[in-house]
Amino acid sequence: MALREKVLKKKAEKFELKELERIIPNRGKLLVLEKLLNEAYLIRRPKPSEYEHRKQLIRVFNEIARELYGNSSCCPVVEEFGSFSMDLFTTGSDLDLSVNFKNNSQSVFPRDQKIKALRKFARKFYALQTGGHVRGVQPVLSAKVPILKVIDAGSGVECDLSVENRDGISKSAIIRLITSIDERFKKLSFLMKAWAKAHDINSSKDRTLNSLSIILLVAFHLQNRDPPILPPFSEILKDGEDVASVQKSVRKFRNYGSKNTETLGELLVSFLLKVEDFTDRTQNVARAVGKSEVEKIYSRIHFSIQRLSLFMNGEIQESVLNESLFGITNTLHHHPPLTTTTTPMQPRAAQSWLPRPQPVGGQWGGMGTQHQAMGSGQEWADDHPPKRMRVAADGAPGTQGWGTWGPELGGHNQPAKRMRAAEGAPTPPPPPPPGTQGWGNWGPPGWGAEDYRGRRVQQPHGPTYRLG
């Protein structure tokens, strides 16, 4: 087996060298490609305000957790993971959050308890949706990892809330530490994620490549350069897989790849050439990637390699390549404004839109909920039926809109089985009316933001994205 692997590796190296010579006949063009890629990296990088917006959302989620559970020992902490935690997120990235219970001593948190916790949060968010603070509240409880989706109405950031996802938190922290070993790892991971997003092949739910898969493919590529740019993960993790041990280990590998002088441009081209082999479904393709989706991934890789070759041979301009790879037009010099210029709300100000619940018959009341109906009838999410209900039909004039509580209602809902009937509903509710406020006291997204599918909404003046 070892001999076969060596033969395959030798063949792969010869193929890569031959293709690189074909794609990059003029080494001088590499300087132009390097400049283009670094500019694309800077354009896509989030602004300081976007970091603060997401930190603000995390603080608000923790305020909600304290409201739902009280300041007792059983009150969970809401923590981030994923692209934001790894510092590899873009403006349109989701914010992955995990509800972690402090007193959880179980190695495996029961699934039914996860669903119970998410339903508790869902009832709260349905109430906030009524006031226009959030939109698109959608429990997806039948998934392998149950989550609750909710979109902040002010920033347009989609938050995916799961329960006890400590493994995701740990992996994200480790990846962030490893990116500090060599800047090329962070930049190439970020650019390949942006490339996959622009070509609509960066979605595990659509059976294409998820972000962690892309990052690990990039890491593997850099570990197998000659000389290597990253050390094997087994070396990094040999003293322990906890964050403290990895942090100590990473210090020993700083500038590990300094002997390798390959540019970001060379690494991107060779990465695409190498990943092209990965799309052979009989070989090393991930099981989560669908058969038809493999063909789509292959076509986007082939298209990108072709465009790179045309650019390196002087047949297309920088602007065309930039748009072909990352969906960035030649007029784009900065991110479109994420929100209006309203000052973000501080955590304590959350109480202005977090209604103070009153205990009624042992249950929380005092706050209305909403959920867009699927088909005919109205969907409600709680454990007890209401005493009084006034339901607006089809958002008739003078009512609060689809599926909202009338003004006379308290905070009771019909049985949870009706919410389960609507779980996994793909259609989001309409956006809040103009003038409504998001969580952070931000105004409505307006032109220049992204809609709930991550599609760019045109703004009258300034840059535009075109995402594939």
Flag whether pLDDT at 284 surpasses 90: no
Confidence band (pLDDT; 50, 70, 90) for 328?
confident
pLDDT of residue 105: 62
Q: Is the pLDDT confidence value at 57 over 50?
A: yes
Average pLDDT of every residue of the chain: 74
Average pLDDT over residues 289-309: 87
- Most confident by average pLDDT, 100-109, 225-234, 352-361, 403-412: 225-234
- How far is residue 78's CA from residue 68's CA, in Å, rounded to a whole number? 12
- Statement: residue 104 has pLDDT above 80: no
Angle in degrees, CA 261, 31, 316, rounded to 5: 135
- The residue among 245 and 343 whose pLDDT is bigger is 245
- 466 falls in which pLDDT band (50, 70, 90)? very low
pLDDT band at 138 (very low <50, low <70, confident <90, very high): very high
Q: Which of 99, 127, 86 is nearest to 405 (CA)?
A: 127
pLDDT of residue 330: 53
Position with higher pLDDT, 380 vs 124 = 124
CA distance 348 to 40: 38
Is 80 exceeded by the pLDDT of residue 390?
Answer: no
pLDDT of residue 106: 66
**What percentage of the chain has pLDDT greater than the value 70?**
63
CA distance 66 to 62: 6
**349, pLDDT greater than 90:** no
pLDDT of residue 203: 81
Structure confidence at residue 43 as a pLDDT band (50, 70, 90)? very high
The pLDDT, as a whole number, for residue 277 is: 52
Please determine, for residue 83, whether its predicted confidence score (pLDDT) is greater than 90. Answer: yes
Structure confidence at residue 280 as a pLDDT band (50, 70, 90):
very low
Q: How far is CA 467 from the centre of its chain?
A: 16
% of the chain residues with pLDDT over 90: 51
Q: Which of 155-159, 221-225, 376-380 has the lowest mean pLDDT?
A: 376-380
Q: Is residue 333's pLDDT more than 90?
A: no
Min mean pLDDT across 175-189, 246-260, 270-284, 437-451 is at 437-451
